Structure 1
Amino acid sequence: MTTWSEKGTRNPETILDHAGPSGRPLPKPVRAEANEEFLRELLGGDPDDELRGLAAAAGENSRLLAELANRLVDEDMVAQSEGTVRLTQSRTPRAVLAFVRLRLGELSADCQELLKIAALQGRSFLLEDVSRMLNKPLATLLAPLDEAMSAGFVEATERQFVFRSDFLMRGAVAAIPAPARGALQREALSHSRRSPEETDPGSWAAAPPAQRFAVVAEGDGGPYSRAHGLIMKGKVVVGTDIARRALADPAVSGDDRLDAEAAVLLGGLLLGRDEEAGTRAREILRERRDEPDDIAAMMAMTVLSDLSWRAGELGEGVRLGRAVARYAGAADPLWRLHFQLGLAAKLADLREFDEADALVDEAEAGLYGLSTDVWHAAPAAARARRFLSAGRFRDARRHAELVTAATEQNSVPTLLPLAYAVLATVSLYTGDLPGATEHFQQAQRELARDGGIRRSPRYAWTEVRIAVRAEGPRAGVALLTGKYDRLPADRWLYVADPAAAAFFVRLALDTGDPGLQRTVLDTVNGLAEDNPGISAVGLGALHANAVAERDPSGLAHVVAQSPDTLSVALATEELAKVHAGQGSPRRPRVVPAPADPVAAAGDGTHAHRHGGCWSVLSDMERRIAYLVSVGMTNRQIARRVHLSAHTVNYHLRKIYKKLGIGTRVELAREAAMYSGSAAIYSIGDDTGGSGPAAAS
C-alpha cells in the first residue's frame, strides 16, 4: 500500500485547482449519486466504502467535496492499493471545518445566527426550537431560513429541517466562540427538552449510512464513532441503541460495522446484560478469523474476560485480558483503552501493581498520540483505583479529583461514579465522615444519570462502611440483610477488596448474626478453592476464617504477607484483641491525627507533628512495625521485606524516633492502637459514639 506522498501521480496542487483557489472555474454542482465519480476523478482511484460515505456527507456541494479530497491528501489520510483509495485515519480533516466556517462568513448575519443556533440542536432541528432560543417570532426566521436553504446548508423534510451533511453542522457549531459554546449547548437542550443524540430517531434511520454512524469530527468530540462517544459520555442506553440500529442496516459495512458491534458489547457490559453480551461475544469469536484490527472480536474477548472475573474465575479472566492486550497493538487507541484499562483494573485487584501501571501508561500514551485531546480522565480513574488499593491515599485522591475536574473532551462521565467512590473511601479511611458521605451521595447522583447502568458492588460496600462508621455495626448488618442482601455472597467484591470478608465476619460476630458469617465464609472459601494460585484471594479467605476462629497464627500470617493496607490494619487489631484475651472488642485509644491526614498517609514524607502519629511512617516503616507487633525478630522481618537485618534495625530506630518510643513492646502497642482507628470500624469522636461494643 502506498501513501499519496509516495505515489505522486495526483498531487495536492492538482486537486486544489478543482476547489477554485487557483482561479480555475469550479465544476458544476453534482447530484448526490455523481459524488462517487467526482471523487474518483479527484483521487485517481476507486474510493472505498468509507470514502464514498464521506463523499455523500458533503451533499451536492462539489467545492466542499473537492476541499475534502484536497485535505485528505494534504494530511496524508488516504492511501491507494490495487486501484482502490482508502482512508488511513478515522477523523474529519481539520481544514474541512475551517472551510465551512468560511462559507458561513459569506451569508448574512441573521442567516449565520440561525444556522449556529440550529446546529446546536443536532443534525435535525425544529424551527420552533430555534425561535424560542433566539426569542424571535417564527415569521422573522423565514428569510434567513430561505437563504440557508439556497446556500445548501439545510433542507426541509416532512416534519423538520436537516443539515445536508455532518460537516456543515459541525462547522456551524465550531464557528461559535469556544467560551460560549458550552453554555449555548446547555440552553439549546433546555429549550428543546432533548439531547442532539436523541432527536428524531426516524430522521436518523433515514439518513445515509455514513452520516448515521459517522465518525465524530475532530474538534467536536474526538475521533470516535457516535455510539462509542455517547456510551463514554454516560448515555449508555442511547449509544447502545444507535449501535444496534447500525447493525440492523445492511448499508453499514466495514469498519463502521465492527465499531457498532464493539459498542453493543461495551454497552451490554455496562448495562448488566451479561447473558446477552456473553452469547453474542461467543458468536463473534466463532465467526471471526484471526484479524489483527478486528475490534469487535477484541471487545468480545474483553466481555468474556469480565464475565469470568465477575464469576470468580480469576485465572481465566486474566488470561483472556492478556490475550486481548497482546492483540490490541493495531487497534484504534480509543478502543485499545478499554482493553488495557480493563486488564489493569484486574491486575490492581490482585495487587500486581507494576504490570497494571505499565498498561495504564501505555493506554495514556495512545491517547496522547491522537491528533486531538480526548478522554484523558480515563487513565486518571484507573490510577485512582490502583493507588487506593495500594493504600496511597493522597495519590488516590489527587487522581480521582483529576477525573471529577475534567471538562469537555477529556471528561469521561461514565467513570465519574468510580472517582467519587474513591474519594468517599479516602475520606472514610482518613476520618472525614462528612466528606465520605458527601462524595458517596455524589457517586449515587452520577449513577442515576443513566439508570440502566450496572452498579458495582464497590458502591454498596462503601455505603455499608459509612453506615458502620456513622451508626455502628448494626446499621451495617441491616444493609447486608436488607437493601444489599446479595452483597455477602458476591465473589466480585472479595476480589476487589480482600478485607471485605474479614470486615463482614467481624460485623456478624459483634451483632450475633451466624447466618451472615456463614454466607461470607462459604463464599470467600469457595472463591479461594477455585483460585488456588492467587495469593490475594487466599489471604482474604485466611483472614476471614482467622477472625471467626480467633486464630492468632492466621492473623499474624495476614499481617506479615498481605499487600493490602486495610487487611493488615484489621488483622493487627484482631490480633491485639486475641493476645489481650478480650471476648469482645474494646475501643482503642484514638491516636492524634495530623493536620492533613490524607497528605500524611501513604508516603511518610511529612514531619511528625503529633506524638504517636502512626501515619508519618513510610510504607516500609509501617510494614516493619506491623511485623514487630506480631513478635518477629529482625532477621525474620528482613526475610519478609527483602532487606538486610542491619537495614531493618536502621528503620526501627527511625520508627522509634518518629513515634517517640523506645521499645518493641511500645511499638506493638502503638500498632494495635493505630490499627483500631485506621480500620474505620469504630465510631469517631466527632460522632459522639462509644465504639462497636456499645453500638452492638
Structure 2
Amino acid sequence: MTTWSKNATRKPETIPDDAGPSGRPPPGPLHAEANEQFLSELLGAELDDELRGLAVAAGENSQLLAELAYGLVEEGLVARHGGTVRLAESRTPRCVPTFVKLRLGELSPGCQELLKIAALQGRSFLLEDVSRMLNRPLATLLAPLDEAMSAGFVLATERQFVFRSDFLMRGAVAAIPAPARGALQREAMHHSGRSTEETDRRSWVPEYRAPQAAVVTEGDGGPYSRAHGLIMKGKVAVGTDLAQRTRSAPGVAEDERLDAEASALLGGLLLGREEEAERRAREILRERTDQPGDVAALMALTALSHLSWRAGELAEGIRLGRAAVRYCGGADPLWRLHFRLELAAKLTDLREFDEAGTLVDEAEAGLYEPSADVWHAAPAAMRARLYLAAGRFRDARRHAEQVTAATEQNAVPALLPLAYAVLSAVSLYTGDLPTAAEHLERARTSPGRDRDIRHSPRYAWTDVRVAVRREGPRAGVALLSGPYDRLPAERRLYVEDSAAAAFLVRLALDAGDADLKRTVLDTVNGLAGDNPGIAVVGLSALHANALAGRDATGLAQIVVQSPDPLSVALATEELARLHATQTSARRPRAVPAPTDPAAVVADGPAGHQPNSCWAVLSDMERRIAYLVSVGMTNRQIARRVHLSAHTVNYHLRKIYKKLGIGTRVELAREAATYSGAAAIYSVTEDKRSLGPAAAS
C-alpha cells in the first residue's frame, strides 16, 4: 500500500499554466469526466468508486475540486493499492467545508442568509420556500440571489434553483450553528412541503452533470420506486400498501414487481407484521431460481435473517445475512445498502466492529454510483450505532448529528428515531440527563417515524436508565413492572446491549426485586444456551450470573475478556464493591444502604477516599489498573487492550503519578478498595478524550 506525504503533490504538473496566483485552476465548467481525470492525474492512479463520487460532487467549481484534491493528500485520506487509489478514511477533507465557509464569508450578510436557508431545502430549491422561511417578500431576495449566482454558488433551471455542488450545499448547511440546524431543518421541511408531487420533481439544466436517476419517483424524488421512497421517508404504512398493490397489479414490469415485493417485505418488518413477512419471505425463496439482482429474494433472505435474530437464533441470522450480502452484487445499490447495513447492525451487536465497519464503507461507496446519490444519512446512522457500542461517544454523537441535520435526498427520516436514541444514550453516558431526556422524547415523536412503526426496545431501555440515574433504582424497577414489563424478557435487548443483563441484575439486587433478577437470568441464560458459539452472549450471561452470585472470579474474567467497554466498567465497579464489602467485614464501620445511588462504600486509610482518586483516571487507565489487579503482566495487558507493552508501561507510570503510588502491589490495593457505588448509575469518562480510550 502506498500513501502520500503531506507535501508530495504541492505543485503538480497537471495544474494548467493559466492557474491563478494560489496555484489552483481558475473557475470554469468541468464535466464529471474532467473532474475524475484531474483528480486521477493528481493522485497518479485510477480512482475507486468512492473517489469518483467525490470528484463528481465537486460539480463545476474547479477551485473546489483542487481544494478537495489537496485536502485528500495533505490529510492522509488516500492510499494506493496496485493501480488504483482509494480513500483510506471515508470522510471529506476538512479543508473543503473551510473553503466553502471562506467563500461564504466573502458575500454580503443578506446573501449568506439566503444561501444557508436555501441549502436547508436541499440541492435544488424554490425561491418562494426561502421567502417563507425568511418571512420576506420575494422581491427583496432578488439582489442577494443575483450575488449568489454571480459567486458561483447556485444556477437557475427552468423552474427552480440548484446548488452547483453537493459540497457547496453541505458547506452552507454546516455554516449554520449546530444548535439551530435541526430546528431550522424541521421548519424548512414544513414550509417547503417537499413531500408533494409538484415541488419534489427535479429539473436539471442540460449542461449540469448531476447524478442521473434511473427511476425518478413522482412525489419523493430519487432513483428508487415510489413505494421504496415512501418507506425510507418514514411513511411506512402508505409505502407498504402501495408496494402490495403494485406487486399484484396486472401488466407491471418484472423489475418493478421485484422491487415492490422487496419493498413490501421491508415495510412489513418495520410495521411489526412478522408472521406475514416470514410467510411471504419463505414463499419467495421457494419460488425463486438463482436470478442475479433479484432484490425480492435477497430481501427475503434479509427478512428471515432479521426474524431469526429477533428470536435469538443468532448464528442463523448471521448466516442468512451473509448470504444476502454475498449474492447482492447485481442488485441496485440502494437495495445493497439495506442488505449490508442490516448485516452490519448484527455484527455490531456481536462487537465485530472491523467487519461491520467494512460493510458500512461498502454500502456508502455504492451511494456514489451515478444512479444512487441519495440517502447518505443511512451509513451515518449505522456508524453512530457502531461507535456507541464501541464506547466511542464523540464519534457516535458526530455521526448521529449528521443524520439529524441531513437534508432532502441525503436524509432518511425513517432513521431519525435511531439517531436521537444514540444521542440520548451518549448524553446519558456523559452525565447530561436533561439532554438525554430531550433526545429520547425526539426519538419517540420524530416526524420521521410512522406512528404505526413498532417501538424498538432501545427507547424503553434508555428511558429506564435515565429514570435510574435521576431517581434511583426503584424508579427503574417501577417502569419495568409497569409500561416496560416485557423488556426484561426481551432477548433482543441482551443482544443489542451486552451490559444490559448485568445492569438489570444489579438494579434488582439494589431494589430487592427477586422476580426481576430471576427473569433476567432465565432470559440471558436461555439466550446463551441457544447460541453456544457466540462469545459476546456467553460473556453477557457470565457477567449477570457472576454479579448475582457475587463471584469475583467471573467478574475478573469479564474485565479481561469482554470486548464491550461498558461491561468492563460495570464489572470493575462490582469487583470494587465486593472488595470494599470484604474489607468492611474485616474492619466494621457504618456503610450506607446499597439502595442509595449516591452511597460510597469505600475503605482505606483514615481520610482517604479511593473513589475521588480513582475518578482522575481515564477509562483506559482504569482498565489497565484492574488488569494489573487480577495479576496480568504488561505483555498480557497489551494484547488485551490492543496496545504495545511499551504503551501499557507508559500508562502505568501515569497511573502511579495520579494516584501517588509506586508499585503494582499498591495499585492492586487501590483497585481492591475503590468503589464507585454504582457505575451502574454513573458511567464516567475522560472528558479530554471522549470515546477512543473506551474503544480500545
Identify the TM-score tier after normalising by the shorter chain.
Answer: 0.5 to 0.7
Separation in 2 of the partners of 1:676 and 1:655? 17
Quote the residue 2:533 is aligned against: 533
TM-score, structure 1 normalization:
0.63
Partner of 1:391: 391
Summarize the Cα distance change of 1:250–1:590 in structure 2 as closer, same or farther, 3 Å threshold.
farther
Q: Is the 8 A contact 2:581 2:601 kept in 1?
A: no
In the alignment, what sits opposite 2:137?
A: none
Offset of 1:244 from its aligned partner? 1.0
- Structure 1 residue 446: Cα displacement: 1.3
Question: SS at 2:351's partner residue?
Answer: coil
Residue 391 of structure 1 aligns to a residue in which SS?
coil
Distance 2:413 2:601 in 1: 39
Q: 1:383 to 1:448 in 2, by over 3 A?
A: closer
Which 5+ residue runs of structure 1 have no aligned equivalent? Answer: 1-119, 121-171, 198-213, 592-609, 685-696
Highest Rg: 1 or 2? 1
The Cα of 1:634 is off from its aligned counterpart by 3.7
1:354-389 per-position Cα deviation (integer Å, ceiling 9, x unaligned): 110110000000001234631001111111000111
Written as runs of structure 1 = structure 2, the 5 A alignment for 1:183-332 is: 186-187=190-191, 196=197, 215-216=215-216, 221-332=221-332
Deviates more, 1:633-642 or 1:258-267: 633-642
Instruction: Pick closer, same or farther for the CA change 1:638–1:367 going to 2, 3 Å.
Output: closer
Q: How is 1:661-672 mapped onto 2 (pairs within 5 angstroms)?
A: 661-664=661-664, 667=667
SS at match of 1:533: coil
Change (3 A) 1:616 1:517: closer
> Which residue, 166, 171, 177 being the options, matches 2:161?
177
Once residues 636 and 570 of structure 1 are traced to their aligned partners in structure 2, the CA distance between those partners, rounded to angstroms, is 21
Structure 2 segments unaligned to the other structure (5+ residues): 1-120, 122-155, 164-168, 170-184, 199-213, 583-590, 603-611, 685-696
What is the one-letter code of the residue matched to 1:460? A
The amino acid that maps onto 2:273 is R
When residues 505 and 185 of structure 1 are mapped into structure 2, their CA distance, relative to the original with a 3 A threshold, is closer
In the TM superposition, what are the counterparts of 1:237-636 in structure 2 within 5 Å?
A: 237-371=237-371, 373-446=373-446, 449-581=449-581, 585=594, 587=598, 613-614=615-616, 616=618, 619=620, 621-634=621-634, 636=636
SS of residue in 2 equivalent to 1:581: helix
Partners of 1:630 and 1:253 in 2: how far apart? 65
State whether residues 573 and 673 of structure 1, in contact with CA within 8 Å, keep that contact through their aligned partners in structure 2.
Answer: no
SS of 1:478 mapped into structure 2: helix
Equivalent residue number for residue 164 of structure 1? none
**For each residue in 1:77-122, what CA deviation from the matched residue of structure 2 results, as whole angstroms up to 9, or x when unmatched?**
xxxxxxxxxxxxxxxxxxxxxxxxxxxxxxxxxxxxxxxxxxx9xx
Distance 1:536 1:184, change over 3 A: closer
Q: Work out the CA distance in 2 between the residues paired with 1:483 and 1:666.
A: 47
Query: Tell me, what secondary structure is at the counterpart of 1:328?
Result: coil
CA contact (8 A) 2:559 2:626 kept: yes
The structural deviation recorded for 1:307 is 0.2
SS of the aligned residue for 2:328 comes to: helix
Could you give the per-residue CA deviations for residues 559-618 of structure 1, whole angstroms, max 9, x where no partner exists? Answer: 111111111111111111111226964746699xxxxxxxxxxxxxxxxxx98655645x
The structure with the largest helix share of the pair is 1
Residues 547, 437 of structure 1: alpha-carbon distance in 2 compared, 3 angstrom cutoff: same
Are 2:560 and 2:627, in contact at CA under 8 Å, matched by a contact in 1? Answer: yes
Q: Structure 2 vs 1, CA of residues 248 and 636 (structure 1 numbering), >3 Å: closer, same or farther?
A: closer
SS at match of 1:493: helix
- State the shift of 1:184 in Å: 9.2
Q: From the superposition, tell whether residues 557 and 187 of structure 1 become closer, same or farther in structure 2 (CA, over 3 Å).
A: closer
Which residue type is aligned with residue 254 of structure 1? E
d(CA) in 1 for partners of 2:331, 2:244:
21
Contact 1:559 1:572 in 2 (8 A): yes
Does the 8 A contact of 2:499 with 2:540 survive in 1? yes
> Alpha carbons of 1:497 and 1:673: their partners in 2 closer, same or farther (altered >3 Å)?
farther
Percent of matched pairs sharing the same residue: 72
Against the structure 1 CA distance between its residues 381 and 645, is the aligned structure 2 distance closer, same or farther, given a 3 Å change threshold?
closer
Question: How many Å separate the matches in 2 of 1:672 and 1:369?
Answer: 56
Partners in 2 of 1:624 and 1:182 — Cα distance?
45
In structure 2, distance between residues paired with 1:674 and 1:292: 60
**Distance (Å, rounded) in 2 between the aligned partners of 1:431 and 1:182:** 27
Distance 2:317 2:405 in 1: 32
CA distance 1:612–1:626, shift in 2 (3 Å): closer
Alignment-derived partner of residue 605 in structure 2:
none
CA distance in 2, matches of 1:294, 1:531: 31
CA contact (8 A) 2:579 2:672 kept: no
Range with greater deviation from structure 2 (428-437 or 304-313)? 428-437
**Distance in 2 separating the partners of 1:482 and 1:510:** 18
SS at match of 1:339: helix
Moved more, 580-589 or 321-330: 580-589
Of stretches 172-181 and 463-472 in structure 1, the one that deviates more from structure 2 is 172-181
Matched with 2:690 is none
Q: CA 1:442–1:318 in structure 2 vs 1: closer, same or farther (change >3 Å)?
A: same
- Quote the Cα distance in structure 1 between the aligned partners of 2:162 and 2:614: 53
Deviating more after overlay: 244-253 vs 255-264: 244-253
